[in-house]
Amino acid sequence: MEILIINSGSSSLKYQLVDSTTGEAKAKGVADRIGIDGSFVKYVAVKNGKEVEVKKEQPIPNHEVAMDIVTTLLTDPEVGVIKNPEDIKAIGHRTVHGGEKFVQPTIITDEVIAEIERLIPISPLHNPASLEGIRAAQKLFTKATHVGVFDTAFHQTMPARAYRYAIPNEYYEKYGLRSYGFHGTSHKFVDAEARKYLNNPYLKNITIHLGNGASMAAVNQEGKCIDTSMGLTPLDGLIMGTRSGQLDPSVVFFLVEQLGLSLDQVKNLLNKKSGMIGLTGYSDARDVAALYRSGDANAALCYEMYGYRVRKFIGAYTAALNGVDSIVFTAGLGEHDALTRSFACKEMEFFGIKLDEKKNEELNHPTKPVEIQAADSRVKILIIPTNEEWQIAKEVVGLVK
């Protein structure tokens, strides 16, 4: 079955038409800069064995218009891959925050929409965008079953000792203030791929999703997440492209009380001006790597800090799992930046983690799972390309068959 996957952001709408059996993308692209000057739609498809690409620059005032343009391209006689919207039987909506209620893919109903709306106060950046995409797709694909696949779902197996904050109980009980974790679809996909590749369903596995946003998860022998690095929001945990990651909350008090910043300014500072960009002036690891190789001290410190934070979580999760069999690198940096992996694995011999630097360089950019550990490493070190769209498609098919 072919599943249309929608990933709706505040100013973008990414889409893929995926074969749920093979993971092949029949068409994919993005409507970008929605509601902003310079908006455009990119569309790439395979038709009659040939790749076709279309890019249109045009005003896109909202997600409904974006979805209409995407639908027109999908059904276009020249470049389209379906005849009409009724050909789409199921749509998987990547939905960032599902709270405690949504622990598995869920068919979207009015009640589900109301619950996603209820979660907006703890996900003000992501859930409104998800709702925009859902409503836009529902208007155009009236015959399809719409399914929400939640980024937080995989982490809902965490025990209370891992997800609760040590603040008064009422803030959890009334307002749901706790750690939820994100990137769950990616963590779930690569964890399952690792178990299949290593032919071991009982792995103690640490998954490391390193992109512009970055997170880690500890997955036990039953394949259940028992801890993850992001918290109430995607700001917590690892250093990221523009996010600070873990810091003392008193930094916020200092910025407000001593420097006179507003809460909105602090939110912007920690989410958009910190992390790699705060340390080096660049949020793209390729730029930071070029600086590092030129001998730039800030870039060197950035890599040291980035790798050190990953290693601290590996140590913590090894303790939480009472041992570790494998660690998995995935996503943009995890799959394509050998330097990041090198810093993340150094001085970890005590844990049985030893990288083969030659393999790490030579097996960069893999298209399938590869091993990059040294011959005497007790722990497997894998690079596994993530495929969140395929994971979403598989979960949607399981619900609508």
**Which residues form the catalytic set?**
151
Selection from 210, 194, 112, 95 nearest residue 152 by Cα: 95
Q: Which residues pair with 32 in a beta bridge?
A: 12, 40
| Residue in this structure with the two tokens 């041992």, named with its chain if needed | 323
Tell me how far apart the alpha carbons of residues 211 and 201 are, in angstroms, rounded to a whole number.
27
**Do residues 158 and 228 touch, judged by C-beta distance below 8 A?**
yes
**Do residues 55 and 40 touch, judged by C-beta distance below 8 A?**
yes
CA distances from 301 to 104, 276, 280 (A): 40, 10, 9
Q: Which residues pair with 149 in a beta bridge?
A: 94
CA distances from 164 to 23, 187, 296, 322, 361 (A): 36, 21, 40, 21, 40
Terminal CA-CA length for the chain: 9
